[in-house]
A = this chain, B = another copy of it.
């Protein structure tokens, strides 16, 4: 069996222990004579799987009791619609645009009400996080929306925006479970699973109970109502059962490691290995402002696109794959989610050193 260092931005690397466990249980889950995939979601066996997954996520993120945890379908993209449809009461929302996804979220919200872009870093190709300490928050805003970690550009908020009392909504798809966060500061948090949690096809939504409305417009699709999913424990209809089981396994893996504090220490160590090297390199440089750096997605380049292409192409010789940057900014990107071992970053930095030695003129 071969395993590579997979720096994909998502779907991305998953913990090897989780995959091994899943493989061993594929035909017979805990002596029940069937795969989790073959289980009715209305059985006590599956109920325990989803209950445990929720309980473990609550423990990991220290989620207060007045928040619901939902396992939904449709990715963050469906949340781009559900959030304004469910949270806009006065029909106004403020969006902070720090990347392509935040921009897409804002564009989708415009279908359902008035959207004010209260901050943006598009002027410099989203290479920084704008100052959000004193924004022009709309008086009648139902919420303020941000995207915490910007996967494409490799930026991350290091201070939460001052929303001046308005509800804060955050897309944490590419940083969930990578560091401790204070859930109580948010009205709604959401994340596609396919980066730090599990397979694509699950979206985790953490929503403060008082934001769950029942007085929705009559023509709201049932599947797009948080109140329906919340009242049915994420089982209004058949949920993506196997994906939820795998998310649960990742939560267990994290708890066994020591929780978020422990994984964050490893993540900081991994990021330091790469950023420290970048900061002294004479060939490679990081593409974002230092105080906006992400520890999950690290974007870097040389000054020569041909050299970048060579670096990307030769990486496979070191079992390093999916290191190419997003087409919109070029260069390289190393996505270093929780499941990426420290050895992966060491292998990458070693390769960069060799490449620098060979190619620096």
Contact = CB atoms under 8 A, between A and B. Distances in A.
A20 interface: yes
A1 B28 contact: yes
Contact of A242 (B40, B200, B241): B200
A319 B33 contact: yes
Contacts of A85: 221
A77 to B, nearest CB: 4
Interface stretch (A7-15, A142-150, A292-300, A348-356): A7-15
Interface in A190-213: 192, 194, 198-202
Oligomer copy total: 2
Contact of A41 (B4, B11, B22): B11
Given A111-B218, A200-B239, A3 B20 contact: no
B39 A8 contact: yes
13 contacts: A2-B33, A8-B39, A14-B35, A34-B321, A41-B200, A73-B73, A73-B240, A74-B74, A111-B219, A194-B241, A200-B240, A221-B221, A224-B224
A42 B212 CA distance: 35
Given A78-B223, A201-B201, A238-B75, A14 B38 contact: yes
B77 A222 contact: yes
